[in-house]
Amino acid sequence: MKTRKVKTRDVKLAVCEYDETGDPSAPTVVLVHGYPDTQAVWEPVARLLAERFHVVTYDVRGAGASGRPRRTRAYAMEHLADDLRTVIDAVSPDRPVHLVGHDWGSVQCWGAVTGDALGGRVASFTSVSGPCIEHFGQWVRDRLRRPTPRRLAELAGQFARSWYLVFGAVPGVPQLFWRFGGTRLFPVLVERTEGLTREPAPTFRKDALYGMKLYRANAVRFLRPGDRCRTTVPVQVVAPTKDAFVSPHQSRDLAPYVDRYWRRELPAGHWGAVCTRPDVLAGWITEFARYIEGAPQPAALAAAEMAGAAR
């Protein structure tokens, strides 16, 4: 593993590269972490993928060893997409990469692949526990406009999972929480909801405080029409069925927004998909990337393919 700093227009990003193949022609996989994590959350998955790929992780702006802009608007999706493009150009200048995001890492990857920021630079995208904000907003509005018992039950389930959004929207409350006990309470919450013991990063309190700017800087995107955010990039969605924050139901209605997509359910929690089932997740990422690179499609992957907009 080697580390370096990559400079964007306004921040320096801490980047790690794993490469056990020794093959300079190996495809590149870029893993993007969520909130309030650092790139270290990907290490178990990265080391497994590095047996076949050139694997890259990085601390997003506001996290870990990367720069921390003070202004909230510096965390808007456009800046995140610019960061991602800069990393991709630095680690794989001549070949599209296979993109994987978890939580807010997935949210920002959706924002990038449904816009113009990464045109031609992404071969595939695997999304784990992080929807496109516009798609999610449309999913909510569709259920409110055409309520049925099933749709209302799905909506109620997601609202129960979204308590942290309300918490984050009240000015000053997140800052008080993280400064006065939240950093000790959060690992306990994760352990009790997922049975997963997490060791917070040394930068955890700063990561949590600065990361809250992601929510405030991008909240208005929830109101945008979902059909304005389409992508031709092949998408694989991994939906943890025990996710305490993101309902697995919302990833079933992506056909209007993607040309081709695959959906797989994993019996794990929000972080469990990455931290307790790295072998499964790495296997699915490998199957998908190899298929997009030209290998035959495995039967299990073929069974996961859903109808897309182009079909």
Domain presence at residue 225: yes
Does pLDDT of 311 surpass 60?
no
**Burial tier of 252 (Cβ tally within 10 Å: 0-12, 13-18, 19+):** middle
pLDDT in tens, 110-126: 999 998 889 999 999 99
Domain presence at residue 197: no
CATH code of 61's domain:
3.40.50.1820
pLDDT at 48: 97
pLDDT at 250: 86
pLDDT at 236: 98
pLDDT in tens, 30-41: 999 999 999 999
Domain presence at residue 300: yes
Segment among 22-36, 86-100, 147-161, 200-214 with least mean pLDDT: 147-161
pLDDT at 165: 66
Share of the chain above pLDDT 70, in %: 96
pLDDT in tens, 50-75: 999 999 999 999 999 999 999 999 99
Does pLDDT of 310 surpass 70?
no
Domain presence at residue 159: no
Domain presence at residue 208: no
How sure is the predictor about 164, in pLDDT bands with cuts at 50, 70 and 90? Answer: low
pLDDT in tens, 69-108: 999 999 999 999 999 999 999 999 999 999 999 999 999 9
Please tell me the total count of domains within the chain: 1
pLDDT at 169: 62
Total length of the chain: 311
**Contact call for residues 81 and 121 (beta carbons, < 8 A):** no
What residue numbers bound the domain in which 53 lies? 2-139+219-306
How sure is the predictor about 128, in pLDDT bands with cuts at 50, 70 and 90? Answer: very high
pLDDT, mean over the chain: 92
pLDDT at 166: 64
pLDDT at 188: 87
Segment among 4-8, 23-27, 150-154 with least mean pLDDT: 150-154
pTM recorded for the entire structure: 0.94
Which span out of 37-46, 139-148, 171-180 was modeled with the highest average pLDDT?
37-46
pLDDT in tens, 246-280: 888 889 989 999 999 999 999 999 999 999 999 99
Q: What dihedral angle (degrees, nearest 10) is formed by the CA atoms of 60, 107, 50, 305?
A: -170
Domain presence at residue 19: yes
Domain presence at residue 269: yes
One-letter-per-residue 3-state SS of the chain:
CEEEEEECCCCEEEEEEECCCCCCCCCEEEEECCCCCCHHHHHHHHHHHCCCCEEEEECCCCCCCCCCCCCHHHHCHHHHHHHHHHHHHHHCCCCCEEEEEECHHHHHHHHHHCCCCCCCCEEEEEEECCCCHHHHHHHHHHHHHCCCHHHHHHHHHHHHHCHHHHHHHCCCHHHHHHHHHHHHHHHHHHHHHHCCCCCCCCCHHHHHHHHHHHHHHHHHHHHCCHHHCCECCCEEEEEECCCCCCCHHHHHCCHHHECCEEEEEECCCCCHHHHCCHHHHHHHHHHHHHHHCCCCCCHHHHHHEECCCCC
pLDDT in tens, 292-308: 999 999 999 999 999 87
Does pLDDT of 194 surpass 60?
yes
Q: What Cα–Cα distance (Å) separates residue 59 from each residue in 4, 101, 142, 192, 281?
A: 11, 12, 35, 27, 20
Domain presence at residue 171: no
